[in-house]
Amino acid sequence: MKKIIIMGAGGHGQVVADALMQMEGTAPAAFVDENQELHGKNVMGIPVPGGNDAISKINHDGIVIALGNNGLRKRIFKKLSEAGEHLFTVIHPSAIIAPNVKIGDGCMILAGAVINTGAEIKSNTIINTNSTVEHHNEIGPHAHVAPGSTLGGEVVIGEEATVGIGATVLPRTTIGKKALLGGGSTAIKDIPEKATAVGVPARVKT
């Protein structure tokens, strides 16, 4: 049985913990969280012994960074990788993933997600509940495809980009690095790096 530390005991961390508990051959070792009010308590029956400095004291086989902030998740991923930690990928058993999909280290593929043939999910990325990643998508590292979002075929999502809840990206469209496509929006053309785009069709906010 692999014991996995979950970094972050908030709402997203608890969703990741639930997925981890439903996987075969894995179990949560502990949460770690910088919120001192949680230290010494249990969340979902899982101990929270301390913050990130407690990691070295916990017997574990891997870590998953269950934090929604893409930039913060990237910084922690880099630090843990350099320290030699194994960044574990959590895949909920209800997710549907084509056999030839490539998935990097430290990803979170949550309940009901669909990832179709030829897609690549790079490291430390969240593919959230009931989202659809269509064929031959390229999802950059440290990105977040939020619950209920739909990506058409041959879509590119840049590093640290976010596709909001219920958003749609039409085929062969690119969402640039660190860009945000707002919840419920529809991207019918490329969204530039670091831009925020909202609406149907999505327009870049100035």
Residues noted as catalytic: 135
**CA torsion through residues 86, 87, 93, 96, sign:** negative
Distance in angstroms (rounded) separating the CA atoms of residues 97 and 34: 33
Distance in angstroms (rounded) separating the CA atoms of residues 165 and 182: 7
- CB count within 10 Å of CB 98 equals 13
Distance in angstroms (rounded) separating the CA atoms of residues 178 and 176: 6
Structure tokens at 135: 């064929």
Distance in angstroms (rounded) separating the CA atoms of residues 195 and 159: 13
Distance in angstroms (rounded) separating the CA atoms of residues 7 and 48: 10
Residue spans of beta strands (DSSP E) within 118-188:
120-121, 126-127, 132-133, 138-139, 144-145, 150-151, 156-157, 162-163, 168-169, 174-175, 180-181, 186-187
